Homo-oligomer: A and B are copies of this chain.
Amino acid sequence: MRKIRIYDTTLRDGAQAEDVSFSVEDKLRILSKLDEFGIHYIEGGWPGANPRDAEFFNQAKKITLRHSRLTAFGSTHRASLTAGRDPGIKELLAAKTDVVTIFGKTWDFHVREALRVSKQANLDLIYNTIAYLKKRVPEVFFDAEHFFDGYRANPEYARKTLEAAASAGADCLVLCDTNGGTMPGDIGGIVHDMARSFDIAVGIHAHNDSECAVANSLIAVEKGASHVQGTINGLGERCGNANLISVIPGLKLKMKYSCVTDAKLKKIKDVSRYVSEIANLRHFKRQPYVGDSAFAHKGGIHVSAILRHPETYEHIRPERVGNYQRVLVSDLSGKSNIVRKIRDFKLKIDPDSPRVTEVVKDLKRLENQGFQFEGAEASLELLIKKTFGLHRKFFDLIGFRVIVEKRREGEEPLSEATIMIRTPQGVEHTAADGHGPVNALDRALRKALEKFYPQLRDVSLIDYKVRVLTAGKGTDTNVRVLVESGDGRHKWGTVGVSENIIEASWQALVDSIEYKLLRG
């Protein structure tokens, strides 16, 4: 069983996707997530082209990776300088990674029109850059840009570029379908030929412009590639890169190559959703393997068959990729989910109680309004507790007022909240300011409650997310707020939905506090 190395470039090529812009903090979080998932190589960025990437590599040095090797990306050195004097190469070395990936031109048309040097000069650039780096970095990979187009145009020259990289000591020759235009019928023969010609590893880097990136990657492995580059969810410039979230289960479950463990594979849906969340993109429902619809059955015939034998209409068991079967237009799946949640939450509730059906109905109604409980399980737990009479209130709101006032252009406005609440121990009326209206309201509410419930001092807000739900109607649309809170030992998520962002935030903040107080 050949071992396939997975190389993720979400942080570089993925960041080229339209509407995607990762902060340094975002990149560090994705790095940790992918390391935990067991990706072999994680390309962090191009330090020579982007100051934010240089900053990322600086910060990343403080993180100890357990499974992955961090990789820095760069180009061959400038023709006017030696490798050692090229500032881009210096930046690459300053990143201090164990692996460096260098891309170079392989298509003679590009050498002439984009790089504007002679064909021999380009071969020298490739050789000199890799030879220089190979003395200073343990592993050096060569990304053969436009290899398939180059090979079609001038096979002899394209092969020479690989020979230059190999003779300079490259550890892997990565054949790139940079424009994503290569047909699946054309990939296999070229990869096979190259894998046979070189005694070092050959890799594949496919783009999805023809909607063939995943298939092209799988075909390349079948024909001898042992290194696959791609991104989480196929994020990337134009139509994106090969989607590793589909490549990995294809390799492992269908083609029986070794790449990640069975236990890690069960986390792949979680990894996919995590990156969508950080990129602030909605997770694609029909996404193979991990989408919410990937194992959802609608047709009556299919449903009765899959209930007897899931393999009749499911290509794999969804549990293997952390997903699950759903039956649409039926409360069957709903009820069993709630029963499962009652068990997960360790609630002392009879799962056969007719009130479970009530919870399912409530949930459907709330989800229609835009609530979503996947990132807000504390709100779900409160909902179940309310239905079963296991909930109690800790305070009543008498009223709040939030004021945002701007008195001069170019100045940040002032935000202030006043609040009055009643608890069994008395009434409190107080006020707080904040960096914005929600922050002010959050601070005023805590200030009022901490007097009676000092345990709330341990609680802090970890994350706050806003999503506008029904696009297309301007500023008077529904807004969903997700809040993540923690008290040092636990973390919990809550949700609120309203036309009014203050009200939606209020719902999520109140749920967060009630959840904490109910836990005691």
A→B interface (CB under 8 Å): 16-19, 21, 23, 25-26, 49-50, 52, 109-110, 113-114, 178-181, 183-185, 208-212, 214-216, 218-219, 222, 234, 236-240, 243, 246, 249-250, 254-255, 278, 280, 282, 284-289, 291-302, 305, 308-309, 311-316, 328, 330-332, 367-368, 370, 372, 374-375, 396-397, 399-409, 412-413, 415, 434-439, 442, 460-472, 474-477, 479, 498-503, 505-506
Which residues on B sit within 8 Å (CB–CB) of A215? 184, 211-212, 214-216, 219
Copies per complex of this chain: 2
Contact B114 A312, beta carbon cutoff 8 Å: yes
CA distance A153 to B69 in the complex (A): 41
A-B contact sample (17 more), CB < 8 A, given A404-B503, A406-B503: A18-B298, A21-B331, A23-B470, A181-B254, A183-B218, A210-B288, A211-B215, A211-B243, A211-B250, A212-B218, A239-B293, A401-B406, A412-B498, A435-B476, A435-B499, A463-B471, A464-B477
Contact B218 A184, beta carbon cutoff 8 Å: yes
Which residues on B sit within 8 Å (CB–CB) of A474? 439, 442, 460-464
Which residues on B sit within 8 Å (CB–CB) of A181? 254, 315-316
Contact A500 B239, beta carbon cutoff 8 Å: no
Contact B476 A240, beta carbon cutoff 8 Å: no
Using known A-B contacts A315-B179, A436-B500, determine if residue A464 contacts B460 with beta carbons closer than 8 Å: no
Q: What would 14 A/B residue contacts be, using CB atoms closer than 8 Å?
A: A18-B374, A25-B470, A25-B471, A211-B243, A212-B250, A215-B216, A239-B286, A401-B403, A401-B406, A402-B403, A404-B500, A413-B502, A463-B474, A501-B501
A486 → chain B, closest Cβ, in Å? 10
Instruction: Tell which of B52, B301, B464 touches A331, judged by Cβ atoms closer than 8 Å.
Output: B52
A130 → chain B, closest Cβ, in Å? 20
CA distance A407 to B397 in the complex (A): 8
Give A316's nearest chain B residue, CB to CB: B181
A91 → chain B, closest Cβ, in Å? 15
CA distance A386 to B166 in the complex (A): 52
Contact B479 A472, beta carbon cutoff 8 Å: no
A430 → chain B, closest Cβ, in Å? 15
Contact A210 B315, beta carbon cutoff 8 Å: yes
CA distance A399 to B413 in the complex (A): 9
Give A328's nearest chain B residue, CB to CB: B18
What 7 A-B pairs have minimum CB-CB distances, sorted nearest first? Answer: A181-B315, A215-B215, A461-B474, A436-B500, A211-B246, A435-B476, A439-B475
Give A308's nearest chain B residue, CB to CB: B113
Give A309's nearest chain B residue, CB to CB: B113
CA distance A239 to B287 in the complex (A): 6
A310 → chain B, closest Cβ, in Å? 10
Contact B404 A397, beta carbon cutoff 8 Å: no
Contact A436 B501, beta carbon cutoff 8 Å: yes
CA distance A191 to B21 in the complex (A): 43
CA distance A278 to B295 in the complex (A): 24
Contact B403 A399, beta carbon cutoff 8 Å: no
Instruction: Tell which of B183, B288, B477 touches A254, judged by Cβ atoms closer than 8 Å.
Output: B183
